[in-house]
Amino acid sequence: MTDTSYGFDTLQIHAGARPDPATGARQTPIYQTTAYVFRDADHAAALFNLQEVGFIYSRLTNPTVAVLQERIATLEGGVGAVCCSSGHAAQIMALFPLMGPGKNIVASTRLYGGTVTQFSHTIKRFGWECKFVDFDDLDAVKDAIDDNTRAVFGEAIANPGGYIMDVRAIADIADAAQVPLIIDNTTATPFLCRPIEHGATLVVHSTTKYLTGNGTVTGGCIVDSGNFDWSATDKFPSLSQPEPAYHGLKFHETFGNLAFTFHGIAIGLRDLGMTMNPQAAHYTLMGTETLSLRMERHVENAVKIANWLEQDDRIEKVTYAGLESSPYYERTKTVCPKGAGALFTISVKGGYEACVKLVNGLEIFSHVANLGDTRSLVIHSASTTHRQLSPEQQEAAGAGPNVVRISIGTENADDLIADLDQALAQATA
């Protein structure tokens, strides 16, 4: 079931899923197997030569994971998707077919701290570089792109500050430079924002977060829009030129708008091995079934709590884009018309020490390095998720020493406000 004329609430339950042909099981089974029996030698050869689609080995493809891939691609409005072991794995896999030694990406300064570290340090081991730019400065983005740029990367709703990115404006810049725009849509989810509709080429997710929603498993996903012409220039030889591992097969010529998806499986998962396990896919599939219901409650709670915090004298600033005082409030109406998400930061009077006391004083909020759970979560980013960043990078990302990141869950909003009130009393006494 991939008919996108169905409503979101229907697709999040049914897309990709069919009754099990062997047993009639209605819920997608967990296919806990490493390998699959071939019909005969010719069948095996056709699969390995990419002449036929099917299951070979669970590092590459798995029936449970395949359902999740189809479901996320459908919800995002893409032509295909590749699931993998984590959000960080998804980022590397998204870049893998695009990059080469000496090539660079242009990325937003407002990113999850782990992503900043990955792009600042880890990708250098591949000979790749990253230029960080304030994506609100469109001229700076244009100036940062050069002949060696192979992708532009940003978050639809930035972690930790909840800043809303002007996806269409950045997409237009990337299109003019003939490079793909990659959007991390983890914090927004396809319920709040569909970046492909705003011009994104690829969408990545940490499925660990809102898509699963219950804090049980890690996972990642790359969604392919199918809209980019990989053969328009010579910038992307992995997709446009002969592939030695497949006897000179040209992915874009052979697979058309599914070239990136097939490359992600046939080359990315084959050689990088960043595989999502079927049980993780099963948990995430169950999570997607209630995505819209949860996101509506997440947003409803976040709006109420952010407004309360903004009026509190113990708080210097709330970054939530759902507040009318936010500079991103009007942008939210076009980029995320159903709401600004449920992740934001607060600057606490009293600085670092007050932040630590606030985190330690909360009772309902869980102090964990995660977001997007049904449970409300809190963390002091500067000393944890953004600890490896320089002070300048922390400030640029919205994770200064006086800032606490809050992920609002689906509990009773009044209970969460009462918990914040008592913890703030301790923190600022």
List of residues 6+ apart from 415 with CB closer than 8 A: 364
Asked if residues 221 and 287 have their Cβ atoms less than 8 Å apart, the reply is no
Q: Among 2-11, 166-175, 234-243, 347-356, name the one with the lowest average pLDDT.
A: 2-11
pLDDT digit string (tens) for 13-72?
999 999 988 899 999 999 999 999 999 999 999 999 999 999 999 999 999 999 999 999
Amino acid making up residue 255: F
CA pair distance 79, 91, nearest whole angstrom: 18
152: helix, strand or coil: strand
> Given a cut of 90, is residue 330 above it in pLDDT?
yes
pLDDT digit string (tens) for 93-151?
999 999 999 999 999 999 998 899 999 999 999 999 999 999 999 999 999 999 999 99
Q: What is the mean pLDDT of residues 209-235?
A: 97
Question: Radius of gyration (Cα) for the chain, nearest Å?
Answer: 22
Q: What is the mean pLDDT of residues 213-224?
A: 97
Distances 312 to 235, 325, 344 between C-alpha atoms, Å: 52, 15, 16
Sheet holding 181-184, edge to edge: 80-84, 220-224, 202-206, 181-184, 149-155, 104-108, 129-133
Name the CATH superfamily, with its identifier, for domain 291-427.
Answer: Aspartate Aminotransferase, domain 1 (3.90.1150.10)
pLDDT of residue 1: 55
Asked if residues 56 and 47 have their Cβ atoms less than 8 Å apart, the reply is yes
Asked if residues 113 and 43 have their Cβ atoms less than 8 Å apart, the reply is no
Architecture of domain 8-287: 3-Layer(aba) Sandwich (3.40)
pLDDT digit string (tens) for 295-322?
999 999 999 999 999 999 999 999 999 9
Which is more confident, 238 or 383? 238
pLDDT of residue 3: 56
Domain locations in the chain?
8-287, 291-427
Question: If residue 424 lies in a helix (H) or strand (E), which one and from where to where?
Answer: helix 413-427
CA pair distance 264, 299, nearest whole angstrom: 33
pLDDT of residue 392: 78
